[in-house]
Amino acid sequence: MPKHISIWFFTGVLLLVYGVIIFGAGIYALSNPPEHPVVLESLHIDIWWGVALTVIGAIYCWKFVPSGKE
Protein backbone atom coordinates (compact mmCIF):
# COMPACT_ATOMS: atom_id res chain seq x y z
CA MET A 1 0.00 0.00 0.00
CA PRO A 2 1.40 3.44 -0.84
CA LYS A 3 2.46 5.42 2.21
CA HIS A 4 0.42 8.50 1.34
CA ILE A 5 -2.99 8.41 -0.28
CA SER A 6 -4.34 11.88 -0.97
CA ILE A 7 -7.66 12.88 0.59
CA TRP A 8 -8.67 13.95 -2.90
CA PHE A 9 -8.35 10.34 -4.07
CA PHE A 10 -10.73 9.20 -1.32
CA THR A 11 -13.06 12.00 -2.37
CA GLY A 12 -12.87 10.96 -6.01
CA VAL A 13 -13.65 7.32 -5.23
CA LEU A 14 -16.66 8.25 -3.12
CA LEU A 15 -18.06 10.66 -5.72
CA LEU A 16 -17.52 8.12 -8.49
CA VAL A 17 -19.34 5.37 -6.59
CA TYR A 18 -22.16 7.73 -5.62
CA GLY A 19 -22.43 9.02 -9.18
CA VAL A 20 -22.82 5.53 -10.62
CA ILE A 21 -25.41 4.56 -7.99
CA ILE A 22 -27.49 7.73 -8.42
CA PHE A 23 -27.30 7.55 -12.21
CA GLY A 24 -28.42 3.92 -12.03
CA ALA A 25 -31.29 4.82 -9.71
CA GLY A 26 -32.35 7.58 -12.13
CA ILE A 27 -32.33 5.22 -15.12
CA TYR A 28 -34.32 2.65 -13.13
CA ALA A 29 -36.88 5.33 -12.25
CA LEU A 30 -37.31 6.06 -15.98
CA SER A 31 -38.56 2.58 -16.66
CA ASN A 32 -40.29 2.14 -13.30
CA PRO A 33 -41.80 5.53 -12.37
CA PRO A 34 -42.28 5.90 -8.60
CA GLU A 35 -45.78 5.85 -7.15
CA HIS A 36 -45.27 9.29 -5.57
CA PRO A 37 -43.02 11.32 -7.89
CA VAL A 38 -41.04 14.27 -6.57
CA VAL A 39 -41.70 17.84 -7.67
CA LEU A 40 -40.25 18.60 -11.14
CA GLU A 41 -39.70 14.92 -11.73
CA SER A 42 -39.66 15.67 -15.45
CA LEU A 43 -36.22 17.25 -15.06
CA HIS A 44 -34.73 13.85 -14.15
CA ILE A 45 -32.31 15.65 -11.88
CA ASP A 46 -31.03 12.35 -10.51
CA ILE A 47 -29.69 11.32 -13.91
CA TRP A 48 -27.92 14.65 -14.44
CA TRP A 49 -26.58 14.67 -10.88
CA GLY A 50 -25.35 11.10 -11.26
CA VAL A 51 -23.50 11.94 -14.48
CA ALA A 52 -21.91 15.04 -12.92
CA LEU A 53 -20.73 13.16 -9.83
CA THR A 54 -19.38 10.30 -11.96
CA VAL A 55 -17.36 12.65 -14.16
CA ILE A 56 -16.00 14.71 -11.25
CA GLY A 57 -15.20 11.56 -9.26
CA ALA A 58 -13.43 9.96 -12.22
CA ILE A 59 -11.31 13.07 -12.79
CA TYR A 60 -10.26 13.17 -9.13
CA CYS A 61 -9.48 9.43 -9.10
CA TRP A 62 -7.34 9.78 -12.23
CA LYS A 63 -5.53 12.90 -11.04
CA PHE A 64 -4.82 11.74 -7.49
CA VAL A 65 -4.41 7.98 -7.92
CA PRO A 66 -1.69 6.73 -5.52
CA SER A 67 1.49 6.05 -7.45
CA GLY A 68 3.28 3.92 -4.86
CA LYS A 69 6.18 6.40 -4.88
CA GLU A 70 7.08 8.71 -1.98
Instruction: From 53, 50, 51, 69, select the one nearest 61 (Cα to Cα).
Output: 53
Query: How many residues can be counted in the chain?
Result: 70
Is 17 or 59 the residue whose CB approaches other proteins more closely? 17
Q: Taking the CB of residue 39, how many other CB atoms lie within 10 A of it?
A: 6
Options 14, 51, 58, 65; binder of other proteins; rule CB under 8 A: 14
Alpha carbon 44 to chain centroid, angstroms? 16
User: Does 25 participate in binding other proteins (rule CB under 8 A)?
Assistant: yes
Interface with other proteins (CB under 8 A): 5, 7, 10-11, 13-15, 17-18, 21-22, 24-26, 29, 34, 36-41, 43, 45-46, 49-50, 53
